Structure 1
Amino acid sequence: MPEQSTVKNDQATAKGENLNSNAKTNNADNQVLTLLDFESSSLPDVVVVENGLAKPIHKTQNQAGVTSGNQALSIQFLAKENYKSSISFKPKTPWDWSELGDFSLAMDISNPLDESTHIFGQVFDKKGQTHTRSVVIPKRSSNTYYIELKGHDLTLETGIRSNPPSWQSDDQQFIWRWGTKQLDVSAISAVKLSVTSLLNDKPLIIDNLRLIKNPPVDGNYLANLVDEFGQSTRTDFKQKIDSLAELNQVSQQELASLDGQLMPDRSKFGGWKTGPKLQATGFFRTEKIGDTWTLVDPEGYLFFSHGIANVRMANTSTMTGVDFKRGIVARAADDVTPEDSKGLNGVSVEAQQSAYVSSALRRDMFSWLPSYDDPLARHYGYRREVHSGALDKGETYSFYQANLQRKYGDNFIEQWRDVTVDRMINWGFTSFGNWIDPMFYHLDRFAYFANGWIIGDFKKVSSGADYWSPLPDPFDPVFRERAAATVAVIADEVKQNPWCIGIFIDNEKSWGMTGSHEGRYGVVIHTLGRSSQDSPTKAVFSQLMKDKYGDIRQLSEAWQQPITSWQAFDAGIATQDFTPAQLQDFALLLETYAAEYFKIVKQEVKKKLPNHLYMGARFADWGMTPEIVSAAAKHVDVMSYNFYKEGLHAKHWQFLKDVDMPSIIGEFHVGATDTGLLNPGLVHAQSQQDRANMYSDYMNTVIPNDYFVGAHWFQYTDSPLTGRAYDGENYNVGFVSVTDTPYQEIVEATKSIMRDIYPNKYGHLVAK
Structure 2
Amino acid sequence: MKRHAWIWLGLCGLGVCHAATASGVADLTAPDARVRISLDHVQRIGGTERAADGVAQQRYAFQPAPRPQVVVAPASGAWDWSGRGELRLRVQNAMPWAVTLEIAVDGAAAGQRLQASVGVPAGPAQTVVLPLHATSPRAQGMQAGPPMPYDAHGRRILLATTVEGALDLRAVRAITLAMPPPQAAQTLLLGTVDAVPGEATLHEAYAGIVDRYGQYVRGRWPEKIDTDEALRAAVRAAPAGASPAGLDRYGGRLDVQSLDRTGWFHTQKRDGRWHLVTPDGHAFFSLGVNAVITDGGRSYVEGREFMFRDLPPDSGEWAAFYGHDDNRNPEQGASRGIGYNRGRWFDFYAANLYRIDGKDWLAAWRTRTLQRLQAWGFNTLGNWSDDALGRAHRLPYTRSIDIAGDYANVSSGYDYWGRMPDPFDPRFVQATERAVAKASTGVRDDPWLLGYFADNELAWAGSGPQGRWGLALGTLAGDANSPAKQAFIADLKANYRTSAQLAAAWGIALASWDALDATGFAAPAPSETHPAIARDYSAWLRRYAYTYFRTVTQALRRHDLHHLFLGGRFAARTPEAVAACAAYCDVLSFNVYADLPQHGLDLAALRQLDKPVLIGEFAFGSTDRGPFGAGPVAVWNEQQRGEAYAKFVAAAASDPNIVGAHWFDYADQPVTGRVLDGENSHFGLVGITDVPFGGFVEAVRAANQRVDNTEVR
Deviation at 1:262, TM superposition (A): 3.0
Deviation at 1:692, TM superposition (A): 1.7
Aligned: 1:399 with 2:348: yes
Match of 2:497 among 550, 557, 566: 550
The CA distance in 2 between the partners of 1:647 and 1:380, in whole Å, is 39
Partner of 1:748: 698
The CA distance in 2 between the partners of 1:529 and 1:394, in whole Å, is 35
Deviation at 1:743, TM superposition (A): 0.3
Q: Is the 8 A contact 2:253 2:282 kept in 1?
A: yes
The CA distance in 2 between the partners of 1:90 and 1:596, in whole Å, is 55
Partner of 1:369: 311
Partner of 1:434: 383
Deviation at 1:420, TM superposition (A): 0.6
**Structure-2 change in CA distance of 1:722 and 1:577 (3 Å):** closer
Partner of 1:450: 399
Structure 2 counterpart SS, 1:703: helix
Partner of 1:381: 323
The CA distance in 2 between the partners of 1:277 and 1:582, in whole Å, is 49
Q: Is the 8 A contact 1:278 1:300 kept in 2?
A: yes
Structure 2 counterpart SS, 1:402: helix
**Structure-2 change in CA distance of 1:660 and 1:473 (3 Å):** same
Deviation at 1:520, TM superposition (A): 2.2
Structure 2 counterpart SS, 1:409: helix
The CA distance in 2 between the partners of 1:624 and 1:109, in whole Å, is 46
What are the within-5 Å matches in structure 2 for residues 264-275 of structure 1?
Answer: 264-275=245-256
Partner of 1:351: none
> Relative to structure 2, which stretch is displaced further, 389-398 or 448-457?
389-398
The CA distance in 1 between the partners of 2:147 and 2:225, in whole Å, is 24
**Structure-2 change in CA distance of 1:529 and 1:739 (3 Å):** closer
Partner of 1:413: 362
Partner of 2:47: none
Deviation at 1:171, TM superposition (A): 8.5
What count of residue pairs does the alignment treat as equivalent?
Answer: 634
Deviation at 1:269, TM superposition (A): 0.7
Structure 1 counterpart SS, 2:251: coil
What are the within-5 Å matches in structure 2 for residues 247-396 of structure 1?
Answer: 247-254=231-238, 257-258=239-240, 261-321=242-302, 359=303, 362-386=304-328, 388=335, 389-396=338-345
Deviation at 1:441, TM superposition (A): 2.1
Deviation at 1:406, TM superposition (A): 1.2
Amino acid at match of 1:380: Y
Aligned: 1:158 with 2:140: yes
Match of 2:555 among 593, 604, 612: 604
Deviation at 1:209, TM superposition (A): 9.7
The CA distance in 1 between the partners of 2:295 and 2:535, in whole Å, is 43
The CA distance in 2 between the partners of 1:600 and 1:146, in whole Å, is 59
Match of 1:182 among 144, 150, 165: 165
Partner of 1:559: 506
The CA distance in 2 between the partners of 1:122 and 1:558, in whole Å, is 49
Question: Deviations along 1:498-533, whole A, 9 cap, x unmatched?
Answer: 11111112111222146422x22222112213344x
Deviation at 1:3, TM superposition (A): 6.2
Deviation at 1:703, TM superposition (A): 2.5
Amino acid at match of 1:460: N
Partner of 2:229: 245
**Structure-2 change in CA distance of 1:496 and 1:522 (3 Å):** same
Aligned: 1:732 with 2:682: yes
Structure 1 counterpart SS, 2:688: coil
Report which of the two structures shows the higher radius of gyration computed on alpha carbons: 2
Amino acid at match of 2:262: T
Deviation at 1:539, TM superposition (A): 1.1
Deviation at 1:426, TM superposition (A): 0.3
Q: Is the 8 A contact 1:154 1:182 kept in 2?
A: no
Question: Deviations along 1:314-340, whole A, 9 cap, x unmatched?
Answer: 43211121xxxxxxxxxxxxxxxxxxx
TM-score by length of 1: 0.73
Q: Is the 8 A contact 2:148 2:159 kept in 1?
A: no
**Structure-2 change in CA distance of 1:558 and 1:437 (3 Å):** same
**Structure-2 change in CA distance of 1:625 and 1:26 (3 Å):** farther
Question: Deviations along 1:693-726, whole A, 9 cap, x unmatched?
Answer: 2222332332222221111111111111111112
Amino acid at match of 1:744: G
The CA distance in 2 between the partners of 1:669 and 1:100, in whole Å, is 48
Aligned-residue RMSD, C-alpha:
4.4
Match of 2:624 among 674, 682, 698: 674
The CA distance in 2 between the partners of 1:35 and 1:275, in whole Å, is 68
Aligned-pair identity (%): 30
Amino acid at match of 1:400: Y
Q: Is the 8 A contact 2:288 2:661 kept in 1?
A: yes
Q: Is the 8 A contact 2:259 2:282 kept in 1?
A: yes
Amino acid at match of 2:140: T
Deviation at 1:37, TM superposition (A): 5.8
The CA distance in 2 between the partners of 1:122 and 1:583, in whole Å, is 43
Q: Is the 8 A contact 1:318 1:397 kept in 2?
A: yes
Deviation at 1:536, TM superposition (A): 0.6
Partner of 1:660: 610
Partner of 1:760: 710
TM-score by length of 2: 0.78
Question: Deviations along 1:408-447, whole A, 9 cap, x unmatched?
Answer: 1101111111111100100011212211111112111101
The CA distance in 2 between the partners of 1:240 and 1:270, in whole Å, is 33
**Structure-2 change in CA distance of 1:693 and 1:258 (3 Å):** closer
Partner of 1:199: none
Partner of 2:18: none
Question: Deviations along 1:632-676, whole A, 9 cap, x unmatched?
Answer: 222222111112222234585243233332112211212222222
Partner of 1:520: 468
Partner of 2:15: none
> Relative to structure 2, which stretch is displaced further, 216-225 or 163-172?
163-172
For structure 1, the residue ranges without an aligned partner over 5 or more in a row are 6-22, 40-66, 74-87, 92-97, 195-202, 322-358
Match of 1:466 among 396, 415, 428: 415
> Relative to structure 2, which stretch is displaced further, 289-298 or 718-727?
289-298
What are the within-5 Å matches in structure 2 for residues 212-251 of structure 1?
Answer: 218=201, 219-251=203-235
Deviation at 1:574, TM superposition (A): 2.2
The CA distance in 1 between the partners of 2:188 and 2:583, in whole Å, is 50
Aligned: 1:640 with 2:594: no
